[in-house]
Amino acid sequence: MAALLSVYALIYLASFASGNAQQAPLGTTNLCAHPPYKVHIFSTSPLVIYISDFLSIPERKHLLSVT
């Protein structure tokens, strides 16, 4: 879990380095409707992360139909 938090910290810091520091936060009307998913860290070196239920069933069907 600590490795996952450090990944988020790196992404956060990278957003400032790329000039996105002025980006406004999302309002309450832009809520994510995606169901919660679980993150499994299999290895930290190299970093291997499995995200179960990352895509919803309609998203999976759409991806299968366009491929």
The amino acid occupying position 41 is I
Q: So what's the pLDDT on residue 37?
A: 78
Give residue-wise pLDDT tens across range 37-63.
788 899 999 999 998 888 888 888 999
Length of the chain: 67
The predicted model gives 1-29 an average pLDDT of 59
- The DSSP secondary structure of 3-59, one letter per residue, reads HHHHHHHHHHHHHHHTTGGGPPPP-TTS---PPP-EEEEEEETTEEEEEET-S-HHH
Residue 32 above 90 pLDDT? no
pLDDT band at 65; cut points 50, 70, 90: very high
* pTM of the entire predicted model: 0.38
% the chain with pLDDT above 90: 22
